[in-house]
């Protein structure tokens, strides 16, 4: 088995996004319905032992970066021990975490000690009432405490802001202004139809072009930064500001040509694209009495059958119009 993974389109694959749970303590309307969520029964979730084995095998195959996501990773009991364990893996260069920040502030010293390289904090507004309207929970103060803690501990921080037509588009400049005084990357993400229901009606389309127009009209001197390899964001900076501003064309899918990522869902579904069906059940493979080499063979074959982009993946997918919750895939 080769020690680096290259897909059938010649793209190196070195990054896995592992969703450790589908549970969450918020109910962001673009991600989950308010009620009636059918969580995955516990025995169907990967155990931490299974996740450790999966990460180890992927690292042996050439993955060097893991993002821990969910659901909300910190609602799963035992997560810190898991992070500690995978941090010992030789060859795993980076562990990053995406969190809503509700429970994260008290964990920051441990996250720093474990060596978590960066945290993506999801925050769509700086207004407490609006935070409640979007997430259906009154947790803004805890999330802000996490943001301040990340600054205090000097943990590299990205803020993920989903741009929601008619909901927070009047606040984009206020969010961008965080980069004036904070060393933070504020990234505006196009809303995708992964909300556990069906496509919302949009008052107007806020795609990456419109987001950029808005930023350029506010900051005429804003300039483009070079794109790091396999970057999903177009990155900009306002002269003299400490942080940077990114735009992620998640719905327009402009970045597929260099996509280097794989996904493992909370149930152990192995995906080679956000928009694809599971390529196979990694959980079932891990629960069969088979060798590491045999599990790696499943992974290798899935990587050799990747769609060339998110549009092809969506076309090939059996479920038709996207209606899954992002929490069940791992955003
Ligand atoms: N609970 C954690 C959090 O919110 O950061 C991690 C999981 S969440 C599914 C990961 C990311 O997906 C968040 O930044 C969230 O804003 C984003 N997300 C969820 N649903 C989305 C959607 N429909 N469109 C765009 N981004 C979405
Ligand atoms: Fe929870 Fe994150 Fe989804 Fe919001 S975006 S409901 S915080 S999983």
| Distance between Cα 322 and ligand 2 center (Å) | 17
| Distance between Cα 291 and ligand 1 center (Å) | 34
DSSP-assigned letter for residue 22: S
Burial of 94 per CB tally in 10 Å (0-12, 13-18, 19+)? middle
Query: What per-residue confidence (pLDDT) applies to 193?
Result: 77
Distances (CA, A) of 323 to 72, 129, 257, 269, 290: 19, 27, 25, 17, 34
pLDDT at 213 exceeding the cut of 50: yes
Query: What per-residue confidence (pLDDT) applies to 229?
Result: 84
CA-CA-CA-CA torsion for 228, 232, 238, 244, nearest 10 degrees? Answer: -80
| Distance between Cα 221 and ligand 1 center (Å) | 30
Q: Whose CA is nearest to atom 5 of ligand 1?
A: 99
pLDDT at 46 exceeding the cut of 60: yes
Q: Whose CA is nearest to atom 12 of ligand 1?
A: 331
Cβ of 232 less than 6 Å from ligand 1: no
Q: What is the pLDDT of residues 53-79, one digit of tens each?
A: 999 999 999 999 999 999 999 999 999
Query: What per-residue confidence (pLDDT) applies to 196?
Result: 73
pLDDT at 1 exceeding the cut of 60: no
Cβ of 264 less than 6 Å from ligand 1: no
Q: Whose CA is nearest to atom 21 of ligand 1?
A: 31
pLDDT at 235 exceeding the cut of 60: yes
Tell me how crowded residue 226 is: count the other CB atoms within 10 A of its CB.
6
For the record, the structure tokens of 208 come out as: 């990456």
pLDDT more than 70, % of the chain? 95
Cβ of 122 less than 6 Å from ligand 1: yes
Q: Whose CA is nearest to atom 9 of ligand 1?
A: 331
Cβ of 331 less than 6 Å from ligand 1: yes
Q: What is the pLDDT of residues 153-200, one digit of tens each?
A: 999 999 999 999 889 999 999 999 999 999 999 999 999 877 776 666
| Distance between Cα 211 and ligand 2 center (Å) | 22
Cβ of 164 less than 6 Å from ligand 2: no
DSSP-assigned letter for residue 275: T
Cβ of 162 less than 6 Å from ligand 1: yes
Cβ of 98 less than 6 Å from ligand 1: yes
Alpha-carbon distance 70 to 53, whole Å? 18
Mean pLDDT of 221-243: 94
HSE-CB at 208 with a 13 A cutoff on CA atoms is 19
Q: What is the pLDDT of residues 87-102, one digit of tens each?
A: 999 999 999 999 999 9
For the record, the structure tokens of 116 come out as: 């978590």
pTM of the model: 0.94
Query: What per-residue confidence (pLDDT) applies to 321?
Result: 47
Ligand nearest to the CA of 26: 2
Cβ of 191 less than 6 Å from ligand 1: yes
- The residue to mutate among 33, 326, 328, 329, having the most atoms of ligand 2 within 8 angstroms of its beta carbon, is 326
Average pLDDT, the chain: 93
Q: What is the pLDDT of residues 215-226, one digit of tens each?
A: 999 999 999 999
For the record, the structure tokens of 220 come out as: 């005429």
| Distance between Cα 189 and ligand 1 center (Å) | 9
Per the listing, tokens 């933070």 go with 184
Q: What is the pLDDT of residues 243-292, one digit of tens each?
A: 999 999 988 887 888 899 999 999 999 999 988 999 999 999 999 999 99
Architecture of the 5-329 domain: Alpha-Beta Barrel (3.20)
Mean pLDDT of 5-10: 94
pLDDT at 202 exceeding the cut of 80: no
DSSP 48-92: HHHHHHHHHHHHHTT--EEEEESS-GGGSTTHHHHHHHHHT-TT-
Query: What per-residue confidence (pLDDT) applies to 150?
Result: 98
CA atoms 266, 272, 274, 278: torsion sign: negative
Query: What per-residue confidence (pLDDT) applies to 319?
Result: 66
Query: What per-residue confidence (pLDDT) applies to 203?
Result: 60
Q: Whose CA is nearest to atom 10 of ligand 1?
A: 331
Q: Helices marked H in the chain — which ranges?
A: 48-60, 79-87, 108-114, 128-135, 140-152, 172-176, 178-181, 208-218, 282-287, 292-303, 310-316, 326-329
Contact 161, 134 (CB under 8 A): no
Alpha-carbon distance 222 to 218, whole Å? 9
Per the listing, tokens 């092809």 go with 312
């Amino acid at each position: 088995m080769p020690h680096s993974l290259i897909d059938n389109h010649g793209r190196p694959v070195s990054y896995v996004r592992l969703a450790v749970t589908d549970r969450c303590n918020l109910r962001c309307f673009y991600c989950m319905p308010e009620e009636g969520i059918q969580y995955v029964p516990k025995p169907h979730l990967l155990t931490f032992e299974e996740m450790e084995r999966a990460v180890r095998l992927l690292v042996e195959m050439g993955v060097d970066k893991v993002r821990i996501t969910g659901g909300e990773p910190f609602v799963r009991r035992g997560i810190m021990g898991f992070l500690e364990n995978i941090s010992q893996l030789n060859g795993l260069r980076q562990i990053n975490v995406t969190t809503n920040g509700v429970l994260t502030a008290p964990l920051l010293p441990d996250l720093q000690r474990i060596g978590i390289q960066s945290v993506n904090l999801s925050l769509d507004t700086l207004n407490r009432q609006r935070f409640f309207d979007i997430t259906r929970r009154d947790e803004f103060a805890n999330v802000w405490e996490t943001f301040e803690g990340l600054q205090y501990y000097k943990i590299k921080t990205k803020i993920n802001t989903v741009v929601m037509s008619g909901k927070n588009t009047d606040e984009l400049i206020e969010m961008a202004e965080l980069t004036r005084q904070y060393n933070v990357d504020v990234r505006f993400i196009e809303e995708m139809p992964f909300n556990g229901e069906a496509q919302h009606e949009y008052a107007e389309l806020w795609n990456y072009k419109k987001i950029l127009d808005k930023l350029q009209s506010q900051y005429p001197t804003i300039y483009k930064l070079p794109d790091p390899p396999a970057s999903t964001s177009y990155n900009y900076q306002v002269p003299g500001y400490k942080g940077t501003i990114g735009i992620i064309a998640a719905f327009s899918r402009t970045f597929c040509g260099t996509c280097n990522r794989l996904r493992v869902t909370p149930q152990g579904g192995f995906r080679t694209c956000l928009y694809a069906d599971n390529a196979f059940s990694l959980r079932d493979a891990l629960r069969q009495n088979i060798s590491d080499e045999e599990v790696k063979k499943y992974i290798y074959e899935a990587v050799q059958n990747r769609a060339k982009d998110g549009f092809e993946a969506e076309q090939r997918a059996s479920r038709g119009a996207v209606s899954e919750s992002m929490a069940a895939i791992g955003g």
